[in-house]
């Protein structure tokens, strides 16, 4: 299912890329766009995660540089039955987080310094469990490939502005009108691509994340804090890379208050309400039904790091 979903997305993005190329340069522009899109599809499958992490200047951490945070992710991964992902921190005052990678074996999770400083350990655990749920549900490939190709389409709109003035019908059948269409379509295409990442996946990741960490209320509290801070703490890297907005647990561009058609994220209040309807299962517990053929897996507790309490400092690392 995930393979078919990704293949359909890549096919759609390739067709859209070719369409914009046609509007800019006719058949020649469409052929060039096809070659570029094919190369980008191949490149983004293998490297889109690195590009996203690089865009946010994320630094990989381990047990020596961020022991509490690293152990938390390790124990949450064990609760979820996932391989240990690579763990990153990016320097940004806005509390937020995202996951990336083409599959669970090549996944990475990233948290901002703002998240580690402003949230309690239990809330951070809820956020990282949500990101691991995206990894488990294999959403990360589609999310990262989408971000890469949406950025490429936006870049193509700049070419339309710079080089699309040619009115020669042999090169541009629609003339300047085609250029205007291409310039308008490009930002709308990025929005449509974000909408292609179904907002129901956020609800699914919330639910599974609450099961992984065992505390729906901790995740609900984290969502409330992140949404409140995101509305007035600017994420400059996200503003420069708006096509990546759908990858974050909360939209980093602005506080989304309406659960409308064009929102990349569901309404935060609705997500919190859904979480508060779930039972607390204890740290590391799971409400997911187990198959009777297998005994229930023993839960591992998330370490109580103590950071975020009583003015104590967050985990130290090279970003400090």
Interval 132-144 mean pLDDT:
87
DSSP β-bridge partners for residue 86 = 108
**pLDDT of 224 above 90:** yes
Q: Looking at residue 298, what is its pLDDT?
A: 38
CB 197 within 8 A of CB 246: yes
Q: Looking at residue 197, what is its pLDDT?
A: 64
Nearest Cα residue to 243 out of 157, 146, 159: 146
pLDDT, tens only, 76-121: 999 999 999 999 999 999 999 999 998 999 999 999 999 999 999 9
Q: Which of 22-26, 55-59, 253-257, 303-307 has the lowest mean pLDDT?
A: 303-307
Q: Looking at residue 143, what is its pLDDT?
A: 76
pLDDT, tens only, 240-260: 888 788 899 999 986 444 444
Joined together, the tokens standing for residue 162 give: 């710079």
Tell me the pTM: 0.75
DSSP β-bridge partners for residue 98 = 110, 248
- For this structure, is 131 an active site residue? yes
**pLDDT of 177 above 70:** no
Q: Which residue has the higher pLDDT, 77 or 139?
A: 77
What separation in angstroms does the CA of 149 have from each of 25, 279, 294? 20, 39, 42
**pLDDT of 304 above 80:** no
Interval 37-49 mean pLDDT:
78
CB 268 within 8 A of CB 221: no
Q: Looking at residue 95, what is its pLDDT?
A: 97
- The CA distance from 67 to 317, in Å, is 9
Interval 286-313 mean pLDDT:
39
- The CA distance from 201 to 43, in Å, is 25
pLDDT exceeding 90 applies to what percent of the chain?
A: 42
Q: Which residue has the higher pLDDT, 93 or 284?
A: 93
Interval 274-295 mean pLDDT:
60
**pLDDT of 318 above 50:** no
Burial of 60 (0-12, 13-18, 19+ CB in 10 A): middle
Instruction: Catalytic residue, from 68, 131, 136, 202: name it.
Output: 131
CB 119 within 8 A of CB 308: yes
- The CA distance from 223 to 205, in Å, is 13
């Amino acid at each position: 299912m995930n393979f078919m979903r990704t293949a359909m997305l890549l096919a759609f993005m390739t067709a859209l890329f070719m369409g914009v190329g046609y509007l800019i340069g006719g058949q020649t522009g469409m052929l060039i766009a096809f070659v570029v899109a094919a190369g980008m599809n191949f490149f983004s499958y293998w490297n889109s995660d690195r590009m996203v992490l690089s865009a946010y200047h994320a630094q990989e951490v381990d047990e020596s540089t961020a022991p509490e945070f690293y152990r938390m992710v390790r124990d949450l991964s064990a609760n979820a039955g996932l391989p240990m992902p690579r763990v990153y921190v990016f320097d940004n005052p806005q509390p937020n987080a995202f996951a990336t990678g083409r599959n669970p074996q090549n996944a990475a999770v990233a948290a901002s310094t703002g998240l580690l400083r402003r949230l309690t350990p239990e809330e951070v655990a809820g956020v990282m469990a949500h990101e691991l749920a995206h990894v488990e549900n294999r959403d990360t490939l589609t999310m990262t490939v989408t971000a890469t190709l949406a950025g490429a389409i936006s870049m193509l709109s700049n070419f339309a502005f710079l080089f699309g003035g040619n009115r020669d019908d042999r090169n541009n059948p629609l003339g300047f009108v085609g250029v205007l269409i291409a310039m308008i379509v490009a930002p709308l295409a990025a929005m449509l691509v974000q909408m292609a990442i179904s907002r129901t996946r956020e609800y699914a990741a919330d639910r599974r994340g609450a099961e992984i960490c065992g505390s729906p209320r901790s995740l609900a509290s984290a969502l409330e804090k992140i949404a409140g801070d995101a509305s007035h703490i600017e994420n400059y890297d996200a503003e420069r890379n708006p096509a990546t907005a759908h990858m974050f647990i909360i939209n980093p561009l602005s506080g989304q208050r309406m659960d409308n058609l064009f929102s990349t994220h569901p309404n935060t209040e609705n997500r919190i309400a859904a979480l508060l309807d779930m039972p607390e299962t204890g740290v590391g517990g799971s409400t997911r039904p187990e198959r009777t053929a297998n005994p229930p897996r023993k839960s591992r507790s998330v370490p109580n790091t103590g950071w975020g309490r009583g003015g104590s400092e967050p985990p130290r690392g090279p970003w400090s």
